Amino acid sequence: MRFEKTLRPCSLRIRLMVMFVGGMLVSAAVIAVAVTALAEPFGRHMLNASVRHYAKEMAERVLLDAHGRPLGLDAQRIEPWLFNSLAEEVTLRIVDAQGHVAFTSEAGGNSRALVPEGVAFDPSLKVFTFLRDGVAMHGATARVEHSGGRWWLQLGLSDRIVLRMRSAFGIPGLIQGVSLTGVAFVLLFFVTVHFTLRRALLPLRAASADACRITPKTLDARLDVDAQPREIRPLVLAFNQALDRLQHGYQTQQEFLASAAHELKTPLALMRAQVELGPHDERRQYLLQDVDRMARQVQQLLMLAEVSEPQNYRIERIDPRSAVQEVFDYMGRVAERHGVRLGLRMADDLRQWQADRSALFTLLKNLMENAIQHSPAGAVVALSVNQSGFVVRDEGPGVAPEHLSRLFERFWRGPDRREDGAGLGLSICMEIATAHRWRLVARNTGHGLEMVTELVPSDQDGDSVSCAPRPAGSVRVQSTSPSRAMLGALF
């Protein structure tokens, strides 16, 4: 069974061509059988038809005297050497209604009409066979049209000359002609079918390309049913219906996620208030930490549900300097609490970006917060920004190579995870980057981890991805700590 699947062609175009070729071979086989079965009777029919045709042609070229008696054939139209040179193979008679010979092509003046053995002359016998000196002959009778009398021309051809001409000229020429025609037809067939099928399958290629562009962010897109061939429309329609069900399920899941997280905010606030009003014992601190952790997870679930919907973004041209500076100042207080220093480098030629300002704030905040929380005290978290993107670097332990591909999975937490993390921060970052058609990757530097966000330049289309951020020219260093010289040396 596996071997049969291997031999079965995967391409629809190849399958159709195989079917066409198979149909051609079956048709050729049927034609070959039919030709073999009908070759002999068809050959006899064609021979009799040819002899009769020649007889009619010669009857139109008979010369008559003034009394209407035949003198022979028009020598300018039919040369006499034909009967002189082939006298044993070709013979001619012109007879009257009683079969009396008025003219013959034989030198001896044979006065007998051409008739089958033992049969009298019959003008109505158009084609027949007879023996002449023991040689089988094919004969035909044609009427000579003349107002002065009624004459009939009889033409006889020997079997051996007919067979000789057929074997020397007819069959080889026929085989050669059929072979050349067949080869030309097959080549033309393959070329024509190739381009015809290629053009016929263009709607399928277009539908396949459209299907490849459908993502969880574009579940509202549908394939064009009317553009497909009638036989493919049920499949495309079923695909669109499957997308309808998938979109409905995805929207229901997102709505449930947002609703559940929203409904949890009020109970958590009440729980915190009750804990704060309770006795100041040892359990109070742990309860508050647990409530804060749950509140953070609920907030991240809400944020994840929000950034997963494309309609929640407002993409416009913004000045990245102010947005980056806002995040940098905000995260400065977080860095101080963890004993981590921050460094900022922005290129002087920084121009406007196409982005959602609030989403960009969340993306930078989460990346820097993740770097701060995984950096030891006294380490430096650096943010580099230029026109092609931005990079956040830390001096933490990095991530094991086998875990790099899972960093952006929802709810995934590494072996050295923090107890207050929900595993959603980097997933939110990936959702925001994907919505902006940016590329977010994580790399180990040997001295920590760096998160590289590559922007698509405004003069390129969205399908291309720019290379890694270009080195900035003139830069400036900012820090929340007083030791600017140390940070300046890092850049």
pLDDT for residue 84 is more than 60: yes
Structural domain range at position 171: 1-200
Beta strands in 253-340 (DSSP E): 316-318
- Both 299 and 342 in one domain: the answer is no
Place of tokens 């937490």: 413
Together in a domain, 388 and 470: yes
pLDDT value for 187: 80
Would residue 205 count as lying in a domain?
A: no
- Give one DSSP letter per residue of 449-476, joined into a string: EEEEEEPPPTTS-TT----SPPPPSS--
Residue 440, domain CATH: 3.30.565.10
Instruction: Count how many domains the chain has.
Output: 3
The per-residue pLDDT for 154 is 92
Closest C-alpha to 371, from 290, 289, 443: 443
Mark whether 299 and 443 lie in a shared domain.
no
In a domain, 330, yes or no: yes
For the ranges 85-94, 248-257, 449-458, 474-483, the lowest mean pLDDT is seen at: 474-483
- 445-480 confidence digits (pLDDT tens): 888 899 999 986 544 433 333 333 333 333 333 333
Q: Does 94 fall in a domain?
A: yes
Type of residue numbered 406: R
Q: Are 17 and 193 in contact (CB under 8 A)?
A: yes
Question: What's the rounded Cα separation, in Å, for the pair 156 and 95?
Answer: 14
Of 74-78, 134-138, 228-232, 411-415, the least confident: 411-415
Same domain, 80 and 173: yes
**Eight-class DSSP state of 168:** I
Q: Note the pLDDT of residue 421.
A: 59
Give yes or no: residues 284 and 321 share one domain.
no
Tokens encoding 112:
């007998």
- CA atoms of 49 and 178, how far apart (whole Å): 22
**How far apart, in whole angstroms, are the C-alpha atoms of residue 371 and residue 376?**
10
Q: Are 372 and 243 part of one and the same domain?
A: no
Same domain, 139 and 55: yes
366-400 pLDDT tens trace: 899 889 988 898 899 999 999 889 999 998 888 88
**Same structural domain for residues 468 and 319?**
yes
Mean pLDDT score, 275-298? 72
Q: Does residue 277 form part of some domain?
A: yes
Least confident among 36-45, 382-391, 426-435, 481-490: 481-490
**Same structural domain, 90 and 191:** yes
Tokens of 74: 């028009």
pLDDT at residue 71, rounded to an integer: 85
Please say if the pLDDT value at position 338 is more than 60: yes
129-138, 250-259, 432-441: lowest mean pLDDT where? Answer: 250-259
Say if residue 132 is in the same domain as residue 271: no
Q: Cα(465)–Cα(442) distance, rounded to whole angstroms? A: 16
Q: SS3 sequence, 125-150? A: CCEEEEEECCEEEEEEEEEECCCCCC
Strand 316-318 to 135-144 pairing: unpaired
Q: Clarify whether residues 29 and 163 are in a common domain.
A: yes
pLDDT at 79 over 60: yes
Please indicate, yes or no, if residue 259 is contained in any of the structural domains. yes
Q: What is the CATH classification number for the domain harbouring 167?
A: 3.30.450.20
Position 231, amino acid: E
Contacts of 403 (CB under 8 A, 6+ apart): 414
Q: How far apart are CA 241 and CA 222, in angstroms?
A: 9
pLDDT at 261: 65
Are residue 74 and residue 170 in the same domain, yes or no?
yes
CA-to-CA dists, residue 300 to 258, 324, 411, 477, angstroms: 10, 21, 11, 31
Q: What burial letters (b/e) apply to 426-442, b meaning 16+ CB within 10 Å?
A: bbbbbbbbbbbebbbeb
Q: What is the pLDDT of residue 456?
A: 67
Specify if 328 maps to a domain: yes
